[in-house]
Structure formats: C-alpha cells, structure tokens
Amino acid sequence: MRQLNPEKVFAQYRDIINPYEPVVGRKYTVTHSDATADLFVFIASSFAEDQVTRMHDDVKIGWEQTDRGLALIGSVIVDGEDVQGNPNNRNRIFLTEMPIALQALRHADRFLFDNNPAIDRASVLIHFISSDPSYDKTYTFGEIGYYK
C-alpha cells in the first residue's frame, strides 16, 4: 500500500462536529486536487456537497451502527448522468486510490480515533455505484485501523 504524505491532508470540521464527537452520524467527504495532490477531508453531520466537483471523484463515507457494531459505510460514483470519464478507468482508479483516501480520512480524524481506540476495528464498506452490474458492487476494505 502506498504511504500517505500527512502534509498533503487538510481537514475541515463543520457544523456540530468537533474533533472528539459524535461518532455515529459523522460523515466524511474526501476530495483531492489533481494539481497539488492535496487531499481534503470534510467532517460534518452531512456530506460536503459544496465540495463535489463535476468529475464526481469524491468519496462519501459515514459512521453507521449495524447489527455487527459500528461500521464506516460509503460510496463512490463510477458512472451515471453528468459523470465524466470512462467507467472502466474510474472503477480502476477508485479501487487503486481507495487506500489513500482511507488513510487520509483516518489521519484527518485522528483525534476521534485516539479518543475512541475501539473504533479502529470498524469495517469499511464502499459501494461503487454504477448502472453497469459489473461495476455496481460493494467492496470491503477491511478495518479502518489498517489505514493508520
């Protein structure tokens, strides 16, 4: 797995969210700059729709209580209306870059994880949204603590 450069990660807390709480209901929007390779993690009670570009190359993920405990459940858009790019390439890029996005999330919200070490065992599930069944899948990316 490629290593994250922490100097390239920028976090922004919004609305009622602070670095330590709450866990459930906390949502992340992870975006990036192609020009600078900076990663931006917006942490809020709703997704940062104002940060989503016409490329739709963002990752949206949030904490949810499941029957198996807390989990990080999210999505990316592989294809669809107004989505630019070849679905095969987008799917490959999302699969390849997801570990970096998860490292950025884990780093950006490190105070939450330091304050609640048990949540590092939470599973990460990402739905790749596509009209093509060969791309429309939910992938398990292991436990978030792996991306520490």
Would 20 be classed as within a structural domain?
Answer: yes
| pTM exceeds 0.85 | yes
Range of the domain at 121: 6-147
Phi then psi for residue 138, to 5 deg, are -110, 125
DSSP-derived pairing of the beta strands 59-66 and 137-143: unpaired
Would 101 be classed as within a structural domain?
Answer: yes
pLDDT of residue 135: 97
State the virtual CA torsion across 34, 135, 48, 19 in degrees, nearest 10.
Answer: -90
- Average pLDDT taken over every residue of the chain: 94
Higher-pLDDT residue of 80 and 135 is 135
Would 127 be classed as within a structural domain?
Answer: yes
Query: Using an 8 Å Cβ cutoff, are 41 and 28 in contact?
Result: yes
Mean pLDDT of 54-67: 91
Separation between Cα atoms, residue 129 and residue 144, nearest integer Å: 21
pLDDT of residue 83: 86
Question: Could you tell me the CA-to-CA distances from 43 to 71, 93, 96, 137 in Å, in that order?
Answer: 16, 23, 23, 25
- Asked if residue 116 has pLDDT above 80, the reply is yes
Q: How many CA atoms lie within 13 A of 148 on its CB side?
A: 12
Mean pLDDT of 106-135: 97
| pLDDT, tens digit, 9 for 90 and up, residues 126-147 | 999 999 999 999 999 999 999 9
For the chain, the domain total comes to 1
Mean pLDDT of 86-104: 96
Q: Which residues contact residue 88 at a Cβ distance below 8 angstroms, ignoring those fewer than 6 apart?
A: 135
What amino acid occupies position 79?
D
Percent over 70 (pLDDT), the chain: 99
Query: Using an 8 Å Cβ cutoff, are 13 and 46 in contact?
Result: no
Which string of DSSP letters, residue by residue, matches 92-146? HHHHHHHHHHHHHHHHHTHHHHHH-GGGGG-EEEEEEE-SSTTT-EEEEEEEGGG
Would 34 be classed as within a structural domain?
Answer: yes
Would 77 be classed as within a structural domain?
Answer: yes
Query: 54: pLDDT confidence band, cut at 50, 70 and 90?
Result: confident
Percent over 90 (pLDDT), the chain: 86
Would 1 be classed as within a structural domain?
Answer: no
